[in-house]
Chain A
Amino acid sequence: MGNDKMRMTKWKPTGLALAAIVTTAAVAFAVPSAMAQRDPAYAAARAAGQIGEQPDGYLGFATAPTPAIRALVQDLNIKRKAAYTASAQSTGSTVEQFAFTSGCNLIAQTKPGEKYQTPGGAWKTRDAGPPERDARCP
């Protein structure tokens, strides 16, 4: 695909950028959420323990964030809120209730080494044992 275009150095950056956009769009729309992967920057920040799961269903900063990480988390939290809002409407609950229930699950699903926030507000690293969650979590 576009081999002759790639040879023309003048068009190379545009071609690459276009290819990247097309690939992203293809991944985003052709494979709708079935086995969608985490953004590598997000996965890295999670694994490094810079960000973690909060009891309210949103991501938070376990350590002072860089501007890039702050932007990444804000973007993900906006997307999460949109998803919670849609689910809350279809289940006849409030966004807060649905987000909280999701938070229970997201903390339960954290992998050892990842960060999560306790009901008291402290950041903890997930170990092999069960995480410290709100008493209302199933």
Chain B
Amino acid sequence: MKTTKTGARRLAIGGRCVAAMTGMWALAGCVQIDTPDKPIEINLNINIRQEVVYRLDGDAKKLIEQNSEIF
């Protein structure tokens, strides 16, 4: 009787351990999926930075001047 009770307890502890580990695993999986998504969103928001605009300004002026019929 006593041995079976201990065996059941051991089984229960083992089951809890497995559940906890599965939970952690799932969590780790979530983080791994999330990380590549975030930088892409940020890049879209600051797609046009001021330094880029300043760098292209001269070429943009030239293009407008040389194609005045469409501008």
Contact = CB atoms under 8 A, between A and B. Distances in A.
A97 B64 contact: no
Q: Interface of chain B, helix or strand or loop or mixed?
A: helix
Given A91-B59, A100-B53, A37 B70 contact: no
B71 to A, nearest CB: 6
B57 A36 contact: no
A136 interface: yes
A76 interface: yes
A138 to B, nearest CB: 5
A87 B52 contact: no
Contact of B70 (A79, A90, A97): A79
Contact of B56 (A35, A37, A93): A93
Contacts of A116: none
A96 interface: yes
B12 interface: no
Contact of A35 (B52, B68, B70): B68
Nearest to B50: A136
Contacts of B69: 33, 36-39
Interface string A66-100: 00000000001001100110010011011011101
Interface residues on B, range: 20 to 34
Contacts of A94: 47
B70 A80 contact: yes
Contact of A104 (B53, B66, B67, B71): B53
A137 B53 contact: yes
A26 B14 CA distance: 87
B63 interface: yes
Contacts of A104: 53, 57, 60
B48 interface: yes
Interface of B: 47-50, 52-57, 59-61, 63-64, 66-71
Given A37-B69, A96-B47, 11 more contacts: A37-B68, A39-B69, A80-B70, A91-B55, A93-B55, A97-B56, A101-B52, A101-B56, A101-B57, A104-B60, A105-B60
